[in-house]
């Protein structure tokens, strides 16, 4: 089961992007396409890490409303909205009696007034009535976009 809880976690930040590699004909050497924006200032990264820790805590407590508090009402990535995240959370919480998320923020870049958060992580759950921990979701260096709303960082989605 694929879960976009990562989005809520990578803030939940918490967030899909694969680093783009291109070949340049001029040099015949591989190079990494430059990322948009500029590196986020350390205080911003610290605020996002703090928000992520809070979201992970709410996720581990299986607190749907608590997790969703870290998601903007205007969240959208592709066809996924905040409502879709809520449905996925309910499904995960219904089939697991315990969940755990591990998320590492790889990089935060500021693009205008929004933060592009690149993260790596995984989500596991213990199946209700069966026991045993099973993987729910994992990702590597995926993108999630966050913005400040009412003084707090919330997931906004990659609304391209």
CATH topology of domain 5-17+32-155: Nuclear Transport Factor 2; Chain: A, (3.10.450)
**What backbone torsions phi and psi does residue 98 show, to the nearest 5 degrees?**
-155, 140
pLDDT (0 to 100) of residue 32: 67
69 class by beta-carbon count within 10 Å (0-12 exposed, 13-18 middle, 19+ buried): middle
- How much of the chain, in percent, has pLDDT values that exceed 90? 76
pLDDT (0 to 100) of residue 29: 47
pLDDT (0 to 100) of residue 114: 97
Q: For residues 51 and 65, what is the distance between their CA atoms, to the nearest angstrom?
A: 15
pLDDT (0 to 100) of residue 26: 39
| Contact call for residues 106 and 120 (beta carbons, < 8 A) | yes
pLDDT (0 to 100) of residue 159: 86
Domain residue limits, the chain: 5-17+32-155
Q: Low-confidence residues of the chain, pLDDT below 50? A: 1-29
Beta-bridge partners for 154: 147
């Amino acid at each position: 089961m694929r879960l976009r809880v990562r989005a809520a976690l990578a803030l939940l930040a918490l967030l899909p992007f694969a680093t783009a590699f291109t070949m340049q004909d001029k040099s015949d050497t591989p190079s990494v396409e430059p990322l948009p924006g500029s590196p986020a200032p350390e205080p911003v990264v610290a605020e996002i890490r703090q928000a992520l820790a809070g979201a992970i805590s709410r996720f581990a407590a299986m607190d749907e409303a608590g997790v969703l508090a870290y998601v903007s009402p205007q969240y959208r990535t592709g066809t996924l909205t905040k409502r879709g995240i809520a449905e996925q959370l309910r499904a995960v919480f219904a089939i697991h009696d315990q969940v755990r998320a591990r998320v590492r923020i790889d990089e935060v870049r500021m693009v205008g007034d929004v933060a592009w958060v690149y993260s790596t992580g995984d989500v596991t759950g213990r199946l209700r009535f069966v026991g045993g921990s099973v993987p729910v979701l994992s990702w590597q260096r995926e993108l999630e976009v966050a913005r400040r709303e009412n003084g707090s960082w919330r997931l906004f989605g990659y609304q391209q």
